[in-house]
A and B are shown apart, each in its own frame.
Chain A
Amino acid sequence: MSDNFALRLYVAGQTPKAVRAFSNLRKICEEHLKGRYSIEVIDLIENPALGRGDQILALPTLVRRLPTPIKKIIGDLSNTERVLVGLDLRPRRPNS
């Protein structure tokens, strides 16, 4: 059941951080979740009301909608290791 990853990436316009976050995410997904993920990009500048549902504060924010529970990763996703931990694809190291 934890096979399919439904991911949402919240951004506000095509900022360098947003672009970086998206390309980092694509790379990580292709490497670790190939064939079992979907990415939905939500631009809050176009749809500001959508920020409410997922309690978006920081940008960029990656939300793992599925599998539950919901997970959030903020930042440009430049640290692959931490993204994998955040997505529960790697065990959290005891000292982190």
Chain B
Amino acid sequence: MTKSRLERSEIRKSPTGIPGLDDITKGGFPQGRPTLVSGGPGSGKTLLGVSFLVNGAQQFSEPGVLMTFEENAAELAQDVRSLGYDLDKLVEQKKLIVDYIHVDRSEIEETGEYDLEGLFVRLEHAINQIGAKRVMLDTIETLFGGLKDTGILRAELRRLFRWMRDRGITAVVTAERGEQMFTRQGLEEYITDAVISLDHRVHEQISTRRIRVVKYRGSTHGTNEYPFLIDRDGITVLPVTSLLLEHGAPNERVSTGLAALDGMLGGKGYYRASTVLLSGTAGTGKTTIAAHFLEAACARGERCMYFLFEESPSQLIRNMRSTGIDLQKWVDKGLLRFHADRPNRHGLETHLLEMHHAVETYDPDVVVLDPITNLMAVGTQADVRAMLTRVIDFFKTRGITAVFTSLTSSTQTLEATESMISSLMDTWILVAITEEDRKRNRWLYVLKSRGMPHSNDVRAFNITNQGVVISEPAKAKPTSPKSAKRKRK
């Protein structure tokens, strides 16, 4: 009884093999049923379908038939070759059949009754030739432009989807997005098992592709819009990691590289695998404090990765050398790697994906993102927050200690600015500058540090050619931003 209910409730799935998509669909497309993929021109629906076929043939021993109504086979093969798919080879290996049906209304005269049996015969022939389990129809709606009798066409499409279902074929059917419906011809009426929507929009001149599972009968699925990328590795849907709060929380502590700052953090420094925010106005020394942490980590033999969104690596190395921190040494030892990228070079999800690639290849213990504020300018607040959440999840799952520097503009209140990201941070250190007696004084304090006792002192510090030197707690009343809060006994 219970068992049969279980069997009924869990439908079988055919994995797409597309990173991320199998996560949000909880295993892939419904097996033995058609899935509708709708989207505007250039939204990536053909590529998604081709990936489904190619991955099926290569990874899951499920040969496929690609029936295209759009381009001819040669053009299509060429288009997907840029993404690393060699259709010709798969055809040779009898894992794939590409059939091309072109319908040109101008060369067809219609008279009397007909059906689309020709399509059925060809499809069946192709399926039988290689024992295909997967079929892609791209884009069958084109037929509406080629045939006048839409009544026959609709009846035949209905018959086609039923026919594929009877044969246990897992199909991907692509369609152009309609103005009011998901598809121009309302194909969602016929394909009700699973509907995927693709979208391509531009915000602030940076384009973002998004995917959404609109409907998935008999299965739970992620309901959000997820960004996805098309690059030389094909399609990747984010999240590439799960969005569960499942990462462990190590008790191990790591030195900040500054004894005095360790002292302010319960005497032991940051938690390993935690997130640290260093925020402050321009020129306060955020990068230098981060560099101290890197230096200490490298000295312990840990691997560090530095994501730069403003300076070039050589510029940073030169600047840090003036404070007595030799980063080049660690680069040479292979313990420090830079990844420099202009924030506006591409969209957030590309950044996210590149960070993933970089971290997965190098496998660091510590990462620094400097400054995160530049990256935040790339997208909308919600997007940035979502992306940072994913990045942080990813870091924590891998046990990486992550330091983010954040530039506060001088017109903003120091603590108000980071409301968007501060909740994602475990430790937040604020750095500030005040002017007094024609001198600029630097201050730092720990605004929060979860799970550890931490100092409420506002401490003065200098950046010398020996690095950051933090003064002892002030005896005299300092004119610091937090002085009002401090009560001296």
Contact = CB atoms under 8 A, between A and B. Distances in A.
B205 to A, nearest CB: 42
A57 B107 CA distance: 13
A82 B109 CA distance: 7
B110 A73 contact: yes
Contacts of A49: 125
Nearest to A45: B121
A75 B114 CA distance: 4
A14 interface: no
B120 to A, nearest CB: 8
B108 interface: yes
B112 A75 contact: yes
Contacts of B122: 44, 48, 51-52, 56
A74 B143 CA distance: 14
B125 A74 contact: no
A12 B118 contact: yes
A73 B124 contact: no
A84 B119 CA distance: 26
Given A12-B121, A48-B121, A51-B121, A86 B111 contact: yes
Could you say which of A12, A58, A60, A75 has the most chain B C-beta atoms within 10 Å of its C-beta?
A: A58
Interface string B399-438: 0000000000000000000000000000000000000000
Could you say which of B114, B118, B125 has the most chain A C-beta atoms within 10 Å of its C-beta?
A: B118
A57 B111 contact: no
A15 B114 CA distance: 11
B363 interface: no
Interface stretch (B96-104, B209-217, B472-480): B96-104
Could you say which of A48, A49, A86 has the most chain B C-beta atoms within 10 Å of its C-beta?
A: A48
A88 B143 CA distance: 24
Contact of A60 (B109, B114, B146): B114
B10 interface: no
B7 interface: no
A56 B118 contact: yes
Nearest to A83: B111
Contact of B112 (A12, A57, A76): A76
Interface size bracket, B side: 20 to 34
B113 A57 contact: no
Contacts of A22: none
A44 B121 contact: yes
Interface in A22-54: 24, 44-45, 48-49, 51-52
Nearest to B125: A48
Nearest to B147: A58
Interface string A58-75: 111100000001111111
Interface residues of A, number: 35
Contacts of B118: 10, 12, 44, 51, 56-59, 61
The secondary-structure label for the interface of chain B is mixed
B117 interface: yes
B116 interface: yes
A76 B114 contact: yes
B92 interface: no
Contact of B115 (A44, A52, A58): A58
A54 to B, nearest CB: 9
A72 B112 contact: no
Contacts of A69: 107
A24 B107 CA distance: 20
Contact of A58 (B107, B116, B125): B116
B485 to A, nearest CB: 78
A81 to B, nearest CB: 8
B147 to A, nearest CB: 7
A82 B107 CA distance: 13
B101 A74 contact: no
A40 to B, nearest CB: 16
Contacts of B125: 48-49, 51
B458 to A, nearest CB: 78
Contacts of A56: 118, 122
Interface in B381-395: none
A55 B117 contact: no
A4 interface: no
B109 A57 contact: no
B394 to A, nearest CB: 48
A77 interface: yes
A75 B107 contact: no
A95 interface: no
A57 B101 CA distance: 7
A82 B122 CA distance: 27
Given A12-B118, A48-B124, A55 B103 contact: yes
15 contacts: A17-B115, A44-B117, A48-B121, A55-B102, A57-B103, A57-B119, A58-B116, A59-B114, A59-B116, A59-B121, A69-B107, A72-B108, A75-B110, A76-B114, A83-B111
Given A15-B117, A58-B116, 14 more contacts: A10-B118, A17-B115, A21-B112, A44-B118, A48-B121, A57-B101, A59-B115, A59-B121, A69-B107, A71-B109, A74-B147, A75-B110, A75-B112, A78-B112
